[in-house]
Amino acid sequence: MRHAYRTALVTGASSGIGESFARLLAGRGADLVIVARRAELLDGLARELVERYRVAVEVVAADLTDPAQRAEVEGRLRTDPVELLVNNAGYGAFGAFAELPLDDHLAQIELNVTALVRLTHAAVPGMVARGRGGVLNVASMSGFAPSPGSATYGASKAYVASFSESLHAEVAGKGVHVTALCPGFTRTEDDVPANLLWLRRDDVARAGLDAVAAGRALCVPGMQYKAAFPALKLVPRPLLRAAVNRMWQQAAETR
Q: Does residue 243 lie within any of the structural domains?
A: no
Q: Which domain holds residue 169?
A: 7-230
pLDDT tens for each residue of 77-113: 999 999 999 999 999 999 999 999 999 999 999 999 9
End-to-end CA distance of the chain: 49
Cβ-contact 255, 219 below 8 angstroms? no
Q: What pTM, to 2 d.p., does this model score?
A: 0.91
Cβ-contact 180, 161 below 8 angstroms? yes
Domain count, the chain: 1
pLDDT for position 193: 54
Q: What residues are annotated to the active site?
A: 153
Sheet with strand 218-219: strands edge to edge: 57-61, 31-36, 7-11, 84-87, 133-138, 176-181, 218-219
Looking at the DSSP bridge assignments, the partners of residue 32 are 8, 57
pLDDT tens for each residue of 40-84: 999 999 999 999 999 999 999 999 999 999 999 999 999 999 999
Q: Does residue 196 lie within any of the structural domains?
A: yes
Please tell me the distance from the alpha carbon of residue 197 to that of residue 149, in angstroms, as a whole number: 19
Q: Does residue 247 lie within any of the structural domains?
A: no
Q: Does residue 219 lie within any of the structural domains?
A: yes
Cβ-contact 107, 125 below 8 angstroms? no
Give the domain CATH number at 61: 3.40.50.720
Q: Does residue 87 lie within any of the structural domains?
A: yes
Please tell me the distance from the alpha carbon of residue 65 to that of residue 11, in angstroms, as a whole number: 12
Q: Is the pLDDT of residue 32 over 90?
A: yes
152: Cβ contacts below 8 Å, ≥ 6 apart: 93, 97, 104, 105, 108, 109
pLDDT for position 146: 85
Q: Does residue 1 lie within any of the structural domains?
A: no
Average pLDDT of the residues of the chain = 92
145: Cβ contacts below 8 Å, ≥ 6 apart: 154, 232, 240, 244
Determine the average pLDDT of the residues in 217-240: 84
Please tell me the distance from the alpha carbon of residue 116 to that of residue 111, in angstroms, as a whole number: 7
The conformational region for residue 251 under phi > 0 = left, psi -120 to 50 = alpha, else beta, is: alpha
